[in-house]
Amino acid sequence: MLDVAPIPAFRDNYIWLIRSARDPRAVAVVDPGDAAPVLEWLASEDLHLHAVLATHHHADHVGGARQLVEATGAAVFGPGRERLPVAFTPLGGNDRVSLPALGLEFEVIDVPGHTAGHIAYYGHDALFCGDTLFSAGCGRLFEGTAGQMLASLDALAGLPDSTRVYCGHEYTAANLRFAAAAEPGNADIGDYVRKVTEMRTAGRPSLPSTIGLEKRVNPFLRSRTENVKLSAERRAGRPLPTPVAVFAEVRSWKDMFQ
């Protein structure tokens, strides 16, 4: 199992620290919006940062990359269709990123929607998906369309159920309040609410989730289910004939949801 630790940053971001199975001091980080907490972690455990993986260009995901490169000489990988504040190796769908120092390799998946060039990293039964898939939610559509985002989420939902999902933010509890409103009869959502409340009360991250769990509780992966479709149609006040129309309605509903 891939050894991954969360480094909390800002209010609710997670920078994911990936350890090598081969060399206990060799690590990579995903989406370092802030360098300070990463440098602190590296120093406290005497770790060597070999690589920075970026999923998209937002500052809370890449703002610390330049400082980390200057401090450690780490190689940076990122979305080939976006600009980052640091030199990086551009990646796109079906590329593979190899981290020889860690003995790890990840597959790159194009997941446009939150941003136009957003990518995700998949490998070793783990998915690093930035602001595309959240637990019980998904990213806002800042640059892409509902159709693009649904296709991106469908691609992620097609990964094995056991895949651990490392998202960019701790949004699970708030997302679940919306999930319960969007699909009131779903008992898995109630079970998950209890579990997440317990974890958060104990000060633990709710992440990682798994693809299998997300398929059961995440309304954005459930646009094709009758219950989510009915809820969306009730809110829209009209029939929603396609999964994209259902998804778009659920997404805009969530944007307004308090």
Q: How far is the CB of 241 from Zn ion (least distance, A)?
A: 31
Choose between 131 and 183: whose C-beta lies nearer to Zn ion: 131
58 near Zn ion, judged by CB under 5 A:
yes
Q: How far is the CB of 116 from Zn ion (least distance, A)?
A: 12
31 near Zn ion, judged by CB under 5 A:
no
Choose between 19 and 58: whose C-beta lies nearer to Zn ion: 58
131 near Zn ion, judged by CB under 5 A:
yes
Q: How far apart are the first and last CA of the chain?
A: 37
Choose between 72 and 115: whose C-beta lies nearer to Zn ion: 115
Distance between CA atoms of 85 and 77, rounded to whole angstroms? 12
Query: Is residue 53 helix, strand or coil?
Result: strand
| Contact in structure between 121 and 137 (CB atoms under 8 Å) | no
Instruction: Compute and round to an integer the Cα radius of gyration of the chain.
Output: 18
Residue 114 CB neighbours (<10 A): 26
By annotation, the residues acting in catalysis are 56, 58, 60-61, 114, 131, 169
Stretch that binds Zn ion, among 50-58, 98-106, 187-195, 233-241 (CB under 5 A): 50-58
Q: How far is the CB of 81 from Zn ion (least distance, A)?
A: 15
Distance between CA atoms of 48 and 197, rounded to whole angstroms? 35
50 near Zn ion, judged by CB under 5 A:
no
82 near Zn ion, judged by CB under 5 A:
no
Stretch that binds Zn ion, among 58-66, 83-91, 102-110, 178-186 (CB under 5 A): 58-66
Q: How far is the CB of 111 from Zn ion (least distance, A)?
A: 12
At 127, which amino acid appears?
A: L
Distance between CA atoms of 111 and 93, rounded to whole angstroms? 8
State how beta strands 89-91 and 48-53 pair: unpaired
| Contact in structure between 222 and 183 (CB atoms under 8 Å) | yes
Q: Which residues bind Zn ion (CB under 5 A)?
A: 58, 131
